[in-house]
């Protein structure tokens, strides 16, 4: 606790609509700096002593694993310092906020609360909700009840867990939903942040992942590709990428498979060939609900892995982190059962 008896929350800013003032996402000048973002909302000081670090000023569609690594390093350096903050907030663009939150959830080695937040409408747009989300994220990060829960995502008065949440709508402030399991808490106006459930899957300090041992240039995220199952989708894309891919994630049909169009080369058979050639193929669904068991037996290969309840973009993050530890398919399957 700081000398003022208010909790200390450190904001790590990466850009995104929550900081955008011009509508221009192609130039850093379109975004407020981390310090400016705090200056624009003096009300933050009523709930915490707030400090900040700027990592990037980019839209979320422009982010790369480099920003993940820099965000991780900033949080861990502060968390392991002699005077660590009581919580962290990561401001982020909305489109990939869930992926960054899940990466941090698996990689960070601290029980200090970490909260990702974002916005759908820029600061100068009618109905902008960014400052409200930032205020609630700071309140959540400052809450002792948030400690040890893994990385959280706060928007629209709701607290979600990083593993389960996804952005499911455009433009609307209620875009984020944890479709299979629901939100974990509420950050209702004028009320204390309240948690209603915990997540059993291992996070943070309980994971095996240690990116300190993996140089950025060896992190395989960009070599893992997502393919989409749809009516009459053939083998073209899968066969084109399989030889050089570190892994393939499938946004499959809700029954857990690829397309096998009558009279055309089969997407499903191309995925099976990739798995037989020891390319990990993770099968998710293209829907918002449902589960594909990690030890799926749809293909006759141990390199075919079910993505559990993870959406494809989350499965890609877990597979990338998993491949930093092992290429053994049995262990990779265990990761999807565990995390």
Are residues 283 and 296 in contact, defined by beta-carbon separation less than 8 angstroms? yes
The CA radius of gyration of the chain, in Å to the nearest whole number, is 20
Residues 6+ apart with CB under 8 A from 183: 158, 159, 160, 196
Helix (H, G, I), strand (E, B) or coil at 21: coil
| Angstrom distance (rounded) from CA 275 to CA 150 | 32
Comparing CA positions, the residue from 283, 254, 287 lying closest to residue 168 is: 287
Known catalytic residue at 326: no
Set 14, 17, 71, 155: catalytic member: 17
| Angstrom distance (rounded) from CA 332 to CA 322 | 6
| Angstrom distance (rounded) from CA 252 to CA 285 | 5
Burial of 76 (0-12, 13-18, 19+ CB in 10 A): middle
Comparing CA positions, the residue from 80, 94, 85, 83 lying closest to residue 114 is: 85
Residues 6+ apart with CB under 8 A from 298: 256, 257, 283, 304
| Angstrom distance (rounded) from CA 294 to CA 98 | 21
Burial of 36 (0-12, 13-18, 19+ CB in 10 A): middle
Residues 6+ apart with CB under 8 A from 74: 12, 53, 55
What angle, rounded to 10 degrees, do the helices at 312-323 and 329-338 form? 130
Compute the half-sphere exposure of residue 76: CA atoms within 13 Å on the CB side of its CA.
16
**Catalytic sites, residue numbers:** 17
């Amino acid at each position: 606790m700081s000398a003022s008896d208010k909790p200390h929350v450190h904001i790590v800013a990466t850009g995104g609509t929550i900081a955008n003032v011009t509508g221009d996402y192609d130039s850093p000048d379109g975004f407020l700096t981390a310090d400016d973002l705090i200056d624009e909302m003096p009300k933050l000081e009523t709930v915490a002593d707030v400090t900040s670090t700027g990592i990037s000023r980019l839209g979320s569609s422009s982010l790369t694993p480099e920003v993940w690594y820099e965000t991780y390093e900033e949080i861990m350096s502060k968390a392991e310092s002699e005077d660590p903050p009581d919580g962290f907030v990561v401001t982020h663009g909305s489109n990939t906020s869930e992926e960054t939150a899940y990466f941090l959830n698996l990689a960070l080695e601290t029980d200090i609360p970490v909260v990702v937040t974002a916005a759908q409408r820029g600061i100068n747009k009618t109905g902008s909700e960014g400052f409200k989300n930032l205020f609630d994220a700071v309140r959540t990060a400052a809450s002792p009840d948030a400690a040890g829960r893994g990385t959280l995502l706060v928007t629209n008065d709701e607290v979600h867990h990083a593993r389960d949440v996804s952005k499911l709508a455009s433009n609307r402030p209620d875009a984020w939903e944890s479709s299979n399991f629901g939100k974990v808490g509420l950050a209702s106006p004028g009320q204390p942040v309240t948690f209603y459930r915990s997540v059993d899957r291992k996070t943070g300090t309980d994971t095996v992942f240690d990116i300190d041992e993996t140089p950025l240039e060896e992190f395989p995220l960009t070599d893992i590709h997502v393919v989409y199952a749809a009516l009459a989708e053939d083998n073209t894309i899968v066969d084109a990428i399989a030889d050089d891919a570190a892994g393939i994630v499938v946004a499959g049909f809700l029954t857990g498979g690829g397309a096998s169009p009558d009279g055309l080369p089969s997407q499903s058979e191309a995925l099976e060939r990739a798995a037989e050639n020891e390319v990990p193929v993770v099968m998710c669904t293209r829907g918002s609900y449902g589960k594909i068991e990690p030890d799926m037996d749809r293909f006759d290969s141990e390199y075919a892995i079910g993505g559990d309840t993870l959406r494809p973009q989350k499965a890609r993050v877990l597979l990338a982190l998993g491949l930093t530890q092992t290429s053994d398919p049995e262990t990779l399957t265990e990761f999807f059962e565990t995390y």
